[in-house]
Amino acid sequence: MTPDSEEIPPSSWYESLESLTKQRQGDVVTIEVIALDLGDEYEAEEVPFAYIEYDRHDDAFNVAVGGRDGHYPVVLRHTVEHPQRVVISPPVPGQETTVDVIFRPNPGSQYKLTELTISGNKIVPSDVLRKLMHAQIGEPVNVVEMESDVTALQHLYGTRGYMAAAIKANQEVDDKAFTVEYGIAIGEGDIYTMGDLDIHGLDSPTTAKMQTAWTLRMGDTYNSDYPRQFAEEANKRSDEWNITIHESVNPKDKTVDVTLRFEAKN
């Protein structure tokens, strides 16, 4: 806010912002979000201003940028729901116009986990899988953490050769009780074995040494961790390469071909 800023009464939000759009459309604009917990974050910087509006029906404040030329062909919109105050600095020719929208975020209701089941697993015991998951019965549900845990389960199956294991987290939500039941459904699929090993970027003697050092032989149960472990060990012996790993999973013959590419570090 500036010393000359004026608070606009809610009854005039629509008209005031419509007038501001007509005055400033096409000017460059910066959108800054200031939050007590996150600090200052910029949603957009120095981009063409499209419009600013108050949606009476949704009780939401929208500001859109872009869509004016080839550099910014798409309109990007930032929305603030249920604003509490709108403060605008008076328009002065040749000077910036500042619009402050003050609102209190609504965190919503907190849902707790009441049940977590694991089904479809035969190779890996449920207690082993459960140890990889952070979710606890009676605790608030963290969806992002749950997705990360499913990825960890997928990784575990890959280390045991089950490269096509399908793992899905299904949820049943009770909006009245604010609870969630999760069911982890696992389709383990077939076991995959080591296929071809291709090494690029080394001379013939060094390539032969690397092939000998690679202990995961053709036909062995594949371990998705092994290529990374091999690359780390190779760099411990001689930290002169950047090593990239590419896995080619072959569903038809249930094998995994691995390509290692060595590039000398500058």
At 24 the pLDDT is 82
Instruction: Report the pLDDT value the prediction gives residue 187, as an integer from 0 to 100.
Output: 96
Confidence of residue 6 (pLDDT cuts 50, 70, 90): confident
- In this structure, is residue 37 part of a structural domain? yes
Residue-wise pLDDT for 171-205, tens only, equals 888 888 989 999 999 999 999 999 999 999 999 99
Q: How far apart are CA 25 and CA 22, in angstroms?
A: 6
Of 68, 102, 136, the residue at which a domain comes to its end is 102
- Residue 219 is assigned to a structural domain of this protein: yes
Counting the structural domains of the chain, the total is: 3
Q: What's the whole-number mean pLDDT along residues 148-152?
A: 90
Q: What is the pLDDT of residue 66?
A: 74
The predicted structure's pLDDT at residue 44: 72
Q: Which of 142, 158, 187 is the last residue of a domain?
A: 187
CATH of the domain at 239: 3.10.20.310
pLDDT tens for 110-130 read 789 999 999 999 999 999 999
Give phi and psi for 241, each to the nearest 5. Answer: -125, 150
Do residue 132 and residue 183 come from a single domain? Answer: yes
Where among 152, 187, 222 does a domain terminate? 187
Please report, for residues 16, 153, 174, 252, the alpha-carbon distance to residue 54 in angstroms, rounded to integers and kept in the order given.
Answer: 9, 46, 34, 57
Comparison of pLDDT for 110 and 215, the residue scoring more: 215
pLDDT of residue 3: 56
Give residue 51's domain range. 6-102
pLDDT in tens, 51-103: 889 998 888 888 888 765 555 555 677 788 888 888 887 666 666 777 777 66
What does pTM read for this prediction? 0.60
134 and 67 in one domain?
no
Would 84 be classed as within a structural domain?
Answer: yes
